[in-house]
Amino acid sequence: MTTKTRSQAAPEGYDPSKFPAFAVTVDVVILTMSESRLHVLLVRRGVPPFQGMWAIPGGFKRPTETLDEAAKRELAEETGVDSASLLAQFGAYGDPGRDPRMNVVTVAYLAVLREVAGIVAGTDAAAATLVPVSAALNGAIELAFDHARIVRDAVERVRIDLELTGIATAFVGPTFTMAELRAVYEAVWGVHLDGANFRRRVGGEDGWVIPTGRRARPGSTGGKPAELFRAGRLWKQGGPIRYPQTTDKGKGKR
C-alpha cells in the first residue's frame, strides 16, 4: 500500500463528521434512433422508491470507481448494453429532496447508441425498453425521481451539439444513407429538412460524407437502393447543418 505524502493526507484535526453526508449516483440517458424517431431507453424500477415506475438507468457510485466507470457499469448491469457510440457527462443534479431516501447528488451522462439490440434488464431493474422521447417529455410516461428533467436536458444538449459537434454521426452506423443521417436532424430538432438541400450541404465538395461505392439493401417497396456513405474528417470540427431559422409564423425555413 502506498503511504500518503503530507500533501495527500487529510489536515491534522480535520473532522469530516462536521459536514452533512450525501451519496453520489450516476444516471445515464440512452438515446437512439428507431423507425426515424428519437427514442430513450428506460428501465422499470424493481425496488423502492418509485417501485414499478419507469426511470433512466443509474445507481450509486462505488467508492473504488470513477464516475465514468460507474456509468459504464450501470449501463451494462441495468440494460445489458456494454458499449455506446458516445458516453459523456452533461450535468449534475442535487436539489434537496430529489431522492426520498437521503441527500443524493447525481451526475448525468448522455449515451448515444447506433442501434439497440438484446436489451436485458438486470440488478434492480424489472424491465427495460425503448420509448419515444416525446412520450417521456410530454407526460405520457411518468418518470421516477427528477428523470423527466434530466431527459429533457439531455435532449437539449443533443439539439445544441448537432450544430457544434459531429454527434449526428454517433446515431448512424459506420455506413449510412443520406436519408438516415437527415432523419437524425429531423427527429432531434423536430423539423422537416428538404432532402435535396440537405444532400447538397452535406454531400458537397466539403467532404462531410464520403461515398462508399455501395448501396443499401433493397427496400420492400422496390426501386433503386440508396447510396451508402461514411463520415468524413470534417465532423471532428463541428457539424454542417444549422438549426432552421423560424419565420414570424413559427415555421422552420426549409
Ranges in the chain annotated CATH 3.90.79.10: 20-148
CA distance 125 to 20: 30
Does the pTM surpass 0.85? The reply is: yes
Tell me whether residue 220 is exposed, middle or buried, using C-beta atoms within 10 angstroms of its C-beta: 0 to 12, 13 to 18, 19 or more: exposed
Ranges in the chain annotated CATH 1.10.10.10: 175-237
Task: Tell me the pLDDT tens digit for each residue of 136-181.
Answer: 999 999 999 999 999 999 999 999 999 999 999 999 999 999 999 9
pLDDT level of residue 222 (50, 70, 90 thresholds): low
CA distance 56 to 100: 17
pLDDT level of residue 220 (50, 70, 90 thresholds): low
C-alpha cell at 26: 450516476
In degrees, rounded to 5, the angle at the alpha carbon of residue 95 between the alpha carbons of residues 94 and 98 is 95
C-alpha cell at 36: 426515424
Tell me whether residue 53 is exposed, middle or buried, using C-beta atoms within 10 angstroms of its C-beta: 0 to 12, 13 to 18, 19 or more: middle
Compute the average pLDDT of residues 28-35: 94
What are the start-end ranges of the H helices in 80-225? 133-137, 147-164, 178-189, 195-202
Task: Tell me the pLDDT tens digit for each residue of 47-75.
Answer: 899 999 999 999 999 999 999 999 999 88
C-alpha cell at 149: 428533467
Asked if the 20-148 domain carries CATH number 3.90.79.10, the reply is yes
Tell me whether residue 191 is exposed, middle or buried, using C-beta atoms within 10 angstroms of its C-beta: 0 to 12, 13 to 18, 19 or more: middle
CA distance 21 to 229: 52
58-75 burial, b at 16+ Cβ within 10 Å, e below that, comes to bbebeeeeeeeebbbbbb
CA distance 98 to 104: 7
Fold entry, domain 175-237: Arc Repressor Mutant, subunit A (1.10.10)
Q: What is the mean pLDDT of the chain?
A: 88
State what percent of residues in the chain have pLDDT above 90: 67
For residue 110, list its beta bridge partners. 29, 88
- Nearest to 202, CA basis, from 173, 160, 168: 168
Of 98-107, 168-177, 197-206, 224-233, the poorest mean pLDDT is in 197-206
C-alpha cell at 225: 437502393
